[in-house]
Amino acid sequence: MNQLQTRYEYGGDEFVFVQLSEEMSLEANFKGMAITRELKQRELPGIVDICPANASYMVRVDPDVLHPEELIKELKDIEQKMADLDHITIASRLVDVPVLFEDPWTHEAVMRFRDRHQDPESTDLEYSARVNGYDSKEAFIEAITSAPFLVSMIGFVPGLPWCFQMVAREKQIEVPKYVRPRTFTPERTFGFGGAFAVIYPVQGAGGYQMYGIAPAPIYQKEQTLPDFRDSMVFPQQGDIFRYRSITREEYDQIRSEVENGTFVYRKKDFSFTPQEVLEDPDAFSEMVLRRLYHD
């Protein structure tokens, strides 16, 4: 594993910020996930909220109950115990996430904002394929859909999943954000920025490259669909998403199921160790897809 340099900082009187690494990596995210889950299980008096991120986390604390210095001592103790990822097991879910690539709705938004893009003469997919060394947008889509993604954090707007592909570092897809942000992004847009895939939970501004649209929501305020009965946000940190390319016919079918309240994500409970991923990402990917669709 790469050496991760942890930095502890105070955020005013009520927050402790912990940076595990200056760059996102699967190692850093697994470590942060293990630490924050252990902190939650300890149920320390004075902990108000725990917010895990890609390569860091933040804890809100009531200083009248638990002094931030004491909290940092506790966090360092947990970090020391979590130093060996070999013995950490992460409870997760495998989830099939359908995506209609090159749909008419995001395509219209793509073309409307070409003046804010690095390459106004191409689409987001064409540009992203080229800068990542792919000969065609079809080959680029295949690279996205052939290996699963880890939901590394939830945030930016409610319900948005940041997803980091579980492949060897040299295979990571990376794309820059728009030169200037858009003022409009369709709800459920599937996009990519930096090394992260996302689904925009609601309509709004944005700067990630837009590739397609998901037929099913990942955020539902009304909580009428079965997957949202316990929470209006579907993704959970530690989930493993497989983005699957679909046809317009399947898109329309899923939209119909969403509208009549019967849609349910295809998913399976799953546990894994970080070492399984880090030692052989390709074998792990094959096993995940087999478990999700065949076991």
Q: What pLDDT tens digit does each residue of the chain (295 aa) get?
A: 445 679 999 988 999 999 999 888 899 999 999 999 999 999 999 999 999 999 999 999 999 999 999 999 999 999 998 877 778 889 999 999 999 999 999 999 999 999 999 999 999 999 999 999 999 999 999 999 999 999 999 988 888 999 999 999 899 999 999 999 999 999 999 999 999 999 999 999 999 999 999 999 999 999 999 999 999 999 999 999 999 999 999 999 999 999 999 999 999 999 999 999 999 999 999 999 999 998 6
* C-beta separation of 142 from 125 below 8 A: no
Rounded CA separation 91/268 (Å) = 11
Please give the CATH topology (third level) of the domain spanning 91-293. Answer: Cyclophilin (2.40.100)
Domain 7-84 and domain 91-293, same fold? Reply is no
Question: Which strands sit side by side in the sheet containing 15-19, from one edge to the other?
Answer: 7-11, 15-19, 56-61, 47-52
The 3-state DSSP class for residue 71 equals helix
- The predicted model scores a pTM of 0.92
Rounded CA separation 38/132 (Å) = 38
The 3-state DSSP class for residue 24 equals coil
Tokens at 104, concatenated: 């008419």
Tokens at 257, concatenated: 């199921």
Domain regions of the chain by residue span: 7-84, 91-293
Tokens at 282, concatenated: 């390709």
> One-letter amino acid identity for 166?
M
HSE, side-chain direction, 13 A CA sphere, residue 4: 26
CATH architecture for segment(s) 7-84: 2-Layer Sandwich (3.30)
